[in-house]
């Protein structure tokens, strides 16, 4: 067991609370994949869902028992205290928690007097009895129990004595951790710190924190609770969660490991953070947030000319941690705000030493500005930038093929069948080629036509594939009549590269990005366009 000891808990609830995020809809297979990523990252606990509440979560726990081989994390089932007026031992919902097979159970309990009366519709005393009875029952079934005190902070402000009595009851009944939840997310760090400190003094219970991000302070609130003595933090990957979201696992872990010097992951796992963050975003089918702390694509990207000059002297002057610690990398951005220093550094990153040729750097800066005025962006299209740089270095635009024309036709026929067809006419190695492709959409058809036209001349194309395709409307005021920017990500299975195209027309823009993607891929395969 490589996990740090039990004295501090990193508890992930992406699969339960994170799944409440608008736009997320996880299948059981998605949940299993995410659990594997979280285990690989090294969290201590993975809350998998609410067995019995819906068929999907019940199935997840059944399949987790059979298929998941967790190395570091323990699986946690989530549920509620027993029904008012019933008995824990006879409660169907608690039975489902036991039957889930999870070694740890988190029970949500009301700790705000008004919620007990209005939402639960029972008495304050019966609510305490529900907590006691439910915890004792689960303990008797050999389960470790954590209690989530829902709306704790609001409840503490409304009726401190009652909120404290819920904590005491849970603690005395055998709950290992009492988690104080800022369910509505309205707290700020100073208030969290004071209340957690008071609860710790008054009850002696082991405390945890569950923060929502409605004030934009969920990470800080989590750390404030740790400052006050909490030893269990509940987070979600990428901060997914209802409304604004939950405390984001990655900056919380980043702060604990790198700012507090507290080891909360097994050795070596912190450097997987960026990869795991992006992998989970991929599974939930949301674009990774480019501006996420520590793991965002932009988190260590430098744009300002002022900074770029200083970074040439010493990178540590301008970054709060070495990005490699969290598996991220420093990037210099190419943009028309950038000066010569940025372009030189970017060239160096790509393997071109530009420092000796001041004219060349000037020409590249001018060309970038010109293209960016047309709507191109090279910040997210390194391969297109490298082609631009290569053309300027060589003083000529060398390509593997020359377009004559293309055409796409999409139609939906009276019988409801839809079809897409594209034809390209081009020249390659002195030969005129015409090819037609069919596809799931006009751009897919165009890609297939281009591939068909070139594949017997350039068999290396067989290894290349488009993996992502993004469309951005540049001027949002004119609807479908706007200028369109297309970003294409391609791979040859050892690397991926991004290219950009801009035109009035989504298909013309796609063509430009496709042309760069193929050109870059063939250069990567070692071919020489001038031969």
Could you tell me how many helices (H) and strands (E) the chain has, helices first?
17, 16
Total residues in contact with its own copies, by rule CB under 8 A = 125
Residue 408 binds to its own copies (criterion: CB under 8 A):
yes
Nearer to its own copies, 173 or 217 (CB): 217
Nearer to its own copies, 220 or 389 (CB): 220
- Contact track, its own copies, 18-37, x by CB under 8 A: -xxxxx-x------------
Q: In angstroms, rounded to a whole number, what is the distance separating the alpha carbons of residues 346 and 295? A: 21
Nearer to its own copies, 42 or 239 (CB): 239
Residue 447 binds to its own copies (criterion: CB under 8 A):
yes
* Interface positions, 258-317, toward its own copies (CB under 8 A): 259, 282, 285, 290-294, 296, 298-304, 307, 309-310, 313-314, 317
What lies within 8 Å, CB to CB, of 259 at 6+ separation is none
Exactly one of 242, 349, 357, 391 binds its own copies (CB under 8 A); that residue is: 242
Shortest spacing between CB 197 and its own copies, in angstroms: 13
* Interface positions, 72-131, toward its own copies (CB under 8 A): 114-115, 118-119
Exactly one of 349, 357, 398, 465 binds its own copies (CB under 8 A); that residue is: 465
Residue 134 binds to its own copies (criterion: CB under 8 A):
no
* Interface positions, 415-434, toward its own copies (CB under 8 A): 418, 420, 425
Beta bridge partners of 178: 147, 207
Exactly one of 274, 484, 498, 519 binds its own copies (CB under 8 A); that residue is: 484
Burial class of residue 161, CB neighbours in 10 A (0-12, 13-18, 19+): exposed
Exactly one of 67, 370, 404, 438 binds its own copies (CB under 8 A); that residue is: 404
What lies within 8 Å, CB to CB, of 400 at 6+ separation is 428, 454, 458, 518, 519, 522, 527, 529
Exactly one of 234, 248, 274, 384 binds its own copies (CB under 8 A); that residue is: 248
**198 and 230 Cβ atoms separated by less than 8 Å:** no
Burial class of residue 407, CB neighbours in 10 A (0-12, 13-18, 19+): middle
Shortest spacing between CB 174 and its own copies, in angstroms: 25
Strands 301-302 and 331-332: parallel
Q: In angstroms, rounded to a whole number, what is the distance separating the alpha carbons of residues 322 and 481? A: 44
Nearer to its own copies, 10 or 507 (CB): 507
HSE-up (13 A, CA, CB side) for residue 404? 13
Shortest spacing between CB 506 and its own copies, in angstroms: 5
Nearer to its own copies, 105 or 333 (CB): 333
* Interface positions, 507-526, toward its own copies (CB under 8 A): 507-508, 510-511
Stretch that binds its own copies, among 2-10, 198-206, 349-357, 483-491 (CB under 8 A): 483-491
**446 and 408 Cβ atoms separated by less than 8 Å:** yes
**28 and 60 Cβ atoms separated by less than 8 Å:** yes
Exactly one of 97, 279, 381, 443 binds its own copies (CB under 8 A); that residue is: 443
Shortest spacing between CB 306 and its own copies, in angstroms: 8
Residue whose entry in the numeric block shows the structure tokens 């993004």: 470
Shortest spacing between CB 392 and its own copies, in angstroms: 21
* Interface positions, 139-158, toward its own copies (CB under 8 A): 151
Per-position b or e across 353-378, b if 16+ CB within 10 A of its CB: ebeebeebbeebbeebeebbeebbbb
Stretch that binds its own copies, among 31-39, 131-139, 357-365, 411-419 (CB under 8 A): 411-419
Nearer to its own copies, 337 or 366 (CB): 337
Shortest spacing between CB 310 and its own copies, in angstroms: 4
Q: In angstroms, rounded to a whole number, what is the distance separating the alpha carbons of residues 303 and 309? A: 11
Paired tokens of 197:
């400190």
Beta bridge partners of 421: 409, 438
Paired tokens of 514:
């496709």
**69 and 108 Cβ atoms separated by less than 8 Å:** no
Please state, in angstroms and as integers, the Cα–Cα distance from residue 410 to each residue in 413, 415, 421, 482, following that order: 10, 15, 6, 20
* Interface positions, 36-55, toward its own copies (CB under 8 A): 54
Exactly one of 33, 159, 202, 319 binds its own copies (CB under 8 A); that residue is: 319
Nearer to its own copies, 144 or 448 (CB): 448
Phi/psi for 165 (5° steps) reads: -70, -30
Exactly one of 261, 395, 430, 476 binds its own copies (CB under 8 A); that residue is: 476
What lies within 8 Å, CB to CB, of 417 at 6+ separation is none
**Segment (H or E) for 465:** strand 465-473
* Interface positions, 202-221, toward its own copies (CB under 8 A): 213-217, 219-221
- Contact track, its own copies, 325-364, x by CB under 8 A: --------x-xxx---------------------------
Residue 8 binds to its own copies (criterion: CB under 8 A):
no
**454 and 521 Cβ atoms separated by less than 8 Å:** no
**450 and 518 Cβ atoms separated by less than 8 Å:** yes
Q: In angstroms, rounded to a whole number, what is the distance separating the alpha carbons of residues 461 and 454? A: 8
Stretch that binds its own copies, among 125-133, 178-186, 427-435, 455-463 (CB under 8 A): 178-186
Shortest spacing between CB 32 and its own copies, in angstroms: 17
Shortest spacing between CB 507 and its own copies, in angstroms: 4
């Amino acid at each position: 067991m490589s996990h740090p000891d039990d004295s501090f808990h990193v508890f992930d609830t992406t699969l339960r609370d994170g799944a409440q995020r608008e736009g997320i809809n996880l299948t059981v297979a998605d949940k299993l994949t995410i659990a594997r990523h979280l285990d690989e990252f090294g969290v201590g606990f993975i809350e998998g869902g609410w067995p019995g509440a819906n068929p999907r979560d019940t199935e997840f726990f059944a399949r987790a028992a059979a298929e998941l081989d967790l190395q570091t994390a323990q699986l946690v089932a989530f549920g509620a205290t027993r029904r008012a007026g019933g008995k824990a031992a006879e409660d169907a919902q608690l039975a489902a928690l036991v039957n889930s097979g999870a070694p740890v159970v988190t029970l949500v309990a009301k700790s705000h007097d008004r919620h007990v009366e209005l939402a639960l519709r029972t008495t304050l005393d019966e609510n305490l009895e529900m907590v006691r009875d439910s915890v004792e029952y689960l303990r008797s079934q050999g389960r470790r129990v954590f209690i989530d005190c829902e709306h704790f902070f609001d409840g503490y402000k409304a009726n401190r004595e009652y909120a404290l009595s819920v904590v005491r009851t849970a603690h005395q009944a055998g709950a290992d951790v009492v988690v104080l939840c800022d369910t509505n997310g309205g707290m700020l760090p100073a208030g969290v710190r004071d209340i957690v400190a008071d609860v710790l003094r008054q009850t002696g219970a082991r405390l945890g924190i569950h923060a929502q991000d409605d004030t934009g302070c969920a990470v800080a609130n989590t750390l404030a609770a740790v400052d006050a003595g909490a030893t269990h933090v509940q987070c979600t990957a990428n901060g997914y969660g209802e409304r604004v979201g939950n405390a984001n696992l990655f900056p919380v872990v980043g702060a604990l490991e790198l700012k507090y010097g507290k080891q909360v992951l097994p050795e070596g796992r912190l450097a997987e953070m960026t990869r795991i963050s992006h992998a989970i975003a991929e599974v939930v089918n949301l674009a990774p947030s480019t501006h996420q702390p520590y793991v965002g694509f932009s988190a260590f990207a430098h744009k300002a000319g002022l900074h770029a000059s200083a970074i040439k002297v010493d990178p540590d002057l301008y970054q709060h941690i070495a990005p490699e610690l969290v598996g991220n990398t420093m990037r210099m951005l190419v943009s028309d705000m950038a000066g010569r220093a940025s372009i030189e550094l970017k060239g160096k990153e790509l393997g071109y030493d530009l420092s000796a040729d001041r004219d060349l750097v000037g020409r590249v800066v001018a060309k970038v500005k010109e293209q960016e005025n047309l709507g191109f962006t090279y910040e997210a299209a390194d391969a297109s930038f490298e082609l631009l740089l290569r053309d300027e270095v060589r003083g000529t635009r060398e390509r593997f093929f020359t377009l004559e024309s293309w055409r796409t036709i999409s139609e939906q026929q009276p019988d409801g069948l839809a079809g897409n067809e594209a034809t390209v006419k081009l020249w390659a190695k002195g030969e005129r080629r015409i090819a037609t492709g069919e596809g799931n959409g006009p751009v897919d058809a165009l890609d297939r036509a281009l591939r068909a036209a070139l594949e017997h001349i350039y068999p290396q194309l067989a290894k290349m594939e488009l993996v992502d395709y993004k469309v951005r409307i540049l001027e949002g005021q004119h609807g479908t009549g706007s200028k369109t920017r297309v970003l294409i990500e391609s791979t040859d299975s050892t690397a991926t590269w991004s290219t950009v195209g801009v035109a009035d027309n989504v298909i013309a823009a796609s063509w430009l990005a496709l042309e760069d993607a193929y050109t870059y891929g063939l250069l990567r395969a070692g071919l020489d366009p001038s031969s």
